[in-house]
A and B are shown apart, each in its own frame.
Chain A
């Protein structure tokens, strides 16, 4: 009989008396789990006070977990390697131009009456072409290695596009 239970992945039941003892105890507990305990009023006030303290005044820390220490160490070793792999994969992907080029980050900011493009991809030159009308192009600037390119911001609601090469 024990083998049958093991094959089924089940626990062999104990004597009838012991099983009923646990079940009886559980039934008794569920019916009346005891008089409810309450916190002291001072403890409540302290909890609310501590919970509302600004971040940084206390060491909040992340939610703890039941991970065993070994698992935490393994996780701590895997995460940096995973992050490095993802970062290298991201850096290696082609963004502009032929595959293998460094990634380019372009940021456009309005500064007074000008729109300023910042292109960060290392010490390279770029050719930026302003496109005011589809099919018509007007060259504006060849960027320096610092990656700063400025263009006057025309008033109005026209759509202006830039092509970075």
Chain B
């Protein structure tokens, strides 16, 4: 797929890409160097700070993209678009605030553009639920994960396809990623009242969908 034409330009990579993160992103320095410090260094043109921020937050962005319904095939491209936007607008980030939440906001917007740019939404919506496990849903069990937990998680992620775009963004950021209602309101440029309204509808719909699914096909225990 092509998300943005500016991303389709030929890219010259001077060096063999490192499979391991650069020095600022190693496990040892990760706990020491704050996001704010990395942002300041990146603004000053430090390429390793860019990479460190990327390595630190790529899993979170990819997870949120998955929860927002971006298919596995497109996730890498949309994530690339997210981080290019993040780094190009780094001056707009207010240090002292959570950098991860800021990247999620941009991920929500990039997902919106991704949906608007094609008929993917029609292909993915409802199809996930009807077809069972689908590429937007993580079926990878976590460490020590039971069969029931994996199934519950898969059902929840699949049920998200029954929500509207706004309801889904609110539910994912608030209930699954742990942002406050105020943070979600800021991220989505809506009021806290609207956040609560969307959340109420999302919960109501998910409860109904999950209950119906449990009746049809009880979760393994």
Contacts and interface: CB of A to CB of B under 8 A. Distances in A.
Contacts of B80: 39, 43, 46-47, 50
A34 B208 CA distance: 24
B201 to A, nearest CB: 8
A37 B47 contact: no
14 contacts: A14-B207, A18-B207, A21-B207, A26-B156, A29-B176, A32-B149, A38-B58, A39-B79, A43-B76, A46-B11, A46-B13, A47-B83, A47-B87, A48-B54
A4 interface: no
Contacts of A58: 6, 9
A26 B207 CA distance: 11
B152 A29 contact: yes
A60 B83 CA distance: 12
Interface residues of B, number: 71
Contacts of B189: 65-67
B50 A34 contact: no
Interface string B144-155: 110011101101
Contacts of A65: 109, 189
Interface of B is mostly: helix
B112 to A, nearest CB: 6
B142 interface: yes
B200 A39 contact: no
A35 B140 contact: yes
A53 to B, nearest CB: 9
Interface residues on A, range: 35 or more
Contacts of B37: none
A54 to B, nearest CB: 11
Interface in B126-170: 138, 140-145, 148-150, 152-153, 155-157, 159, 166
Contact of A30 (B79, B176, B200): B176
B55 interface: yes
Contacts of B208: 14, 18
Given A32-B144, A34-B142, A66-B189, 19 more contacts: A15-B211, A18-B208, A21-B210, A21-B211, A22-B206, A26-B175, A28-B149, A31-B142, A35-B140, A36-B62, A41-B19, A43-B76, A44-B55, A47-B54, A48-B50, A50-B11, A50-B80, A65-B189, A66-B108
B220 interface: no
Contacts of A39: 54, 58, 62, 76, 79-80
The 7 nearest A-B residue pairs measured at CB = A32-B142, A18-B211, A51-B87, A34-B138, A25-B156, A36-B59, A35-B140
A64 interface: yes
Contact of A51 (B59, B83, B200, B206): B83
B47 A41 contact: no
A28 B11 contact: no
A11 B11 contact: no
Contacts of A49: 11-13
Nearest to A17: B211
B207 A37 contact: no
Nearest to B13: A45
